[in-house]
Amino acid sequence: WRLAEKAAVTLVDRLICDLALDVDRHSVGETYLAHRPRHAGGFEKEAEATQENYGVAPEILTQSQLSSAGLAGPFYGAMTTPIGFGLNPRKYVAGLYKGAFAAGTRFFDRSPVVQINEKGVTTSQGHVKADKVILATNGYSSEDIPDWMAGRYMPAQSTAIVTEPLSDTALEAAGWTSDQMAYDSRRLLHYFRLMPDRRFLFGMRGGVFSSVSTEAVARTKVVSDFREMFPAWAKVGISHAWSGMVCLARGRVPFVGPVPNMPNVLAGFAYHGNGVAMGTFSGQLLADMALERRPALYPAAMHHPARRFPLGRMRRALVPPVYAAYHLSDLRR
Ligand X SMILES: Cc1cc2nc3c(=O)[nH]c(=O)nc-3n(C[C@H](O)[C@H](O)[C@H](O)COP(=O)(O)OP(=O)(O)OC[C@H]3O[C@@H](n4cnc5c(N)ncnc54)[C@H](O)[C@@H]3O)c2cc1C
Residues that bind ligand X (CB under 6 A): 112-113, 136-140, 142, 145, 158-160, 191, 203, 244, 246, 271, 273-277, 279
> What is the distance between the terminal CA atoms of the chain, rounded to a whole angstrom?
32
Q: Which is nearer to ligand X, 73 or 268 (CB)?
A: 268
Q: Which is nearer to ligand X, 276 or 318 (CB)?
A: 276
Q: Which is nearer to ligand X, 76 or 193 (CB)?
A: 193
Answer for the pair 54, 8: CB distance below 8 angstroms, yes or no.
no
DSSP lists the bridge partners of residue 184 as 33
Report DSSP letters for 129-189, one per residue.
Answer: E-S-EEE--GGG--TTTTGGGTTS-EEEEEEEEEESPPPHHHHHHHTB----EEEES-SS-
One-letter amino acid of 22? D
- Indicate the residue whose CB is closest to ligand X: 275
Q: How far apart are CA 283 and CA 281, in angstroms?
A: 5
Answer for the pair 264, 131: CB distance below 8 angstroms, yes or no.
yes
**Alpha-helical regions (H) of 133-291:** 168-174, 212-229, 275-290
Q: Which is nearer to ligand X, 142 or 177 (CB)?
A: 142
Please report how close the Cβ of residue 81 comes to ligand X at its closest, in angstroms: 15
Answer for the pair 134, 267: CB distance below 8 angstroms, yes or no.
yes
Distances (CA, A) of 11 to 14, 91, 107, 284, 285: 5, 16, 23, 9, 11
Q: Which is nearer to ligand X, 54 or 191 (CB)?
A: 191
One-letter amino acid of 314? M
Please report how close the Cβ of residue 96 comes to ligand X at its closest, in angstroms: 10
Q: Which is nearer to ligand X, 112 or 175 (CB)?
A: 112
Please report how close the Cβ of residue 13 comes to ligand X at its closest, in angstroms: 14
Please report how close the Cβ of residue 259 comes to ligand X at its closest, in angstroms: 15
Q: How far apart are CA 286 and CA 34, in angstroms?
A: 37
DSSP lists the bridge partners of residue 243 as 159
Report DSSP letters for 282-307, one per residue.
Answer: HHHHHHHHHTTPPPS---GGGTSPPP
Chain centroid, CA 90 distance in Å? 13
Answer for the pair 225, 134: CB distance below 8 angstroms, yes or no.
no
Q: Which is nearer to ligand X, 250 or 272 (CB)?
A: 272
Residue 86, burial from CB neighbour count under 10 angstroms (0-12, 13-18, 19+) = buried
Please report how close the Cβ of residue 112 comes to ligand X at its closest, in angstroms: 4
Q: Which is nearer to ligand X, 61 or 278 (CB)?
A: 278
Q: Which is nearer to ligand X, 137 or 264 (CB)?
A: 137
Q: Which of these, 74, 68, 1, 66, lies nearest to 31 by C-alpha position?
A: 66
